[in-house]
Amino acid sequence: MDLSVVIPIKDERDNLAPLHERLRQALQPLGLSYEILFVDDGSTDGSFAALEEIARGDPHVKAVRLRRNFGQSAALQAGIDWSCGDVLVTMDGDLQNDPADIPRLLDKLAEGYDAVLGLRARRQDHLLIRKIPSLLGNWLIRKVTGVPIKDMGCTLRALRRDLAEGLPLYGEMHRFVPVLAQQYGGRLAQIPVRHHPRTAGKTKYGLTRTFRVVLDLITVKFLHSYLTRPMHVMGLAGLVSIGLGMLCLLATILMKKWLGGPFMTGNPLFYFSVLLELAGVQFLSLGLLGEVLTRTYFESQGKHAYTVRTTLNLESRPERRAA
């Protein structure tokens, strides 16, 4: 199959019929074999019944119903797993993404990119609740990860299957698809897409997700930069802590000798130096444990610390060499 449109939904019953009609109008003229795959992430408003009605009239429409609400990342992963297309287009089911932009995404993808991401032009969302937090979050993610994509949160995107299947989608990593795609080695592009106000249903986002984004960003940064070398971050923290502890101990000795201060055991600076030394040892120990866990992770599961785009004159992948 040429194309799979993957749409995670949660309580979007009133949006499904008009969304299906807009998708049909956008996809039929392309002349591609396609499927529209809805993933019902635990809806309780009758969304799946609406999908059943739509699917009876259109064989291109397929649906996966999860047993409960697992979150958008899990629903997106389910859509990738159950889809068949060589190219995957993902989008929300709230009618804010415009299916008419899909042909433009595919045209850009055909230029040799692995993923084409949408950039919401003239975004139709609440200024204080959605737009400002999004601008700040996008700026922070760009600074921390170095990924230049301006709109990380736009769910309208086109990806080649090999890239989509390589994305580690768990927890709430759907927010970092552009970052994960670049870390995987994908060639990315971003184009402006239309954005419409929500007319039915309720938004699933709020200000509270801003704090979760920061925590997830720390995870993404660590996994990208230090997964294969945890001692570099833990060991550095340990050496800094030990160094500061030695400086505090030296300061304690000098204060006693030159200023006639209290005995070392009566000086708070001495106890602080001991605390820093112990913290440094703990950081180094965590780094060593991290190195052991990293080795176990890669060796026990036969995983590689790299990904291959293509090969020449090679029929099979090499066997993992025992360390």
Q: Residue 125's pLDDT is what?
A: 65
Percent of the residues in the chain that have a pLDDT greater than 90, as a whole number: 39
Q: Residue 221's pLDDT is what?
A: 78
Distance CA(172)–CA(174), nearest Å, equals 5
* Residues whose CB falls within 8 Å of the CB of residue 22, separated by 6 or more in sequence, listed in order: 95, 98, 99, 100
Structure confidence by residue, pLDDT tens digits, 73-92: 889 989 999 999 999 999 99
Q: What is the mean pLDDT of the chain?
A: 83
**Contact yes or no for 163/110 (Cβ under 8 A):** no
Task: Quote the tokens at residue 149.
Answer: 């994509």
Structure confidence by residue, pLDDT tens digits, 222-248: 777 777 788 888 888 899 999 999 998
Q: Residue 306's pLDDT is what?
A: 56
Residue of higher predicted confidence among 129 and 108 = 108
If one counts every other C-beta atom within 10 angstroms of the C-beta of residue 181, the result is 24
CA distances from 138 to 15, 132, 156, 226, 264 (A): 28, 10, 16, 22, 50
- Checking if the pLDDT of 318 tops 60, the result is no
- Checking if the pLDDT of 184 tops 50, the result is yes
Hey, what amino acid is at 207? L
Q: Residue 174's pLDDT is what?
A: 82
Q: Residue 126's pLDDT is what?
A: 64
Nearest of 148, 185, 144, 192 to residue 163 by alpha carbon: 185
Nearest of 102, 92, 115 to residue 32 by alpha carbon: 102
Structure confidence by residue, pLDDT tens digits, 259-308: 666 666 667 888 888 899 999 999 889 888 888 887 777 667 666 655 56
Structure confidence by residue, pLDDT tens digits, 253-272: 887 777 666 666 667 888 88
Distance CA(54)–CA(75), nearest Å, equals 20
> What are the backbone dihedrals phi and psi of residue 132, each rounded to the nearest 5 degrees, phi first?
-65, -50
**Contact yes or no for 16/67 (Cβ under 8 A):** no
- Checking if the pLDDT of 134 tops 80, the result is no
pTM of the model: 0.74
Nearest of 256, 125, 149 to residue 197 by alpha carbon: 125
Q: Residue 321's pLDDT is what?
A: 43
Task: Quote the tokens at residue 292.
Answer: 């052991």
The CA-CA-CA angle for residues 5, 11, 15, to 5°, reads: 60
Hey, what amino acid is at 158? A
Q: Residue 84's pLDDT is what?
A: 92
Burial 13-42 (b: 16+ CB within 10 A, else e): bbbbeebbebbbebbeeeeeebbbbbbbbb
- Checking if the pLDDT of 157 tops 70, the result is yes
- Checking if the pLDDT of 128 tops 70, the result is no
Task: Quote the tokens at residue 221.
Answer: 């940064």
Residues 174-203, mean pLDDT to the nearest whole number = 85
Q: Residue 16's pLDDT is what?
A: 94
- Checking if the pLDDT of 208 tops 70, the result is no
Local confidence band at 140 (pLDDT 50, 70, 90 cut-offs) = confident
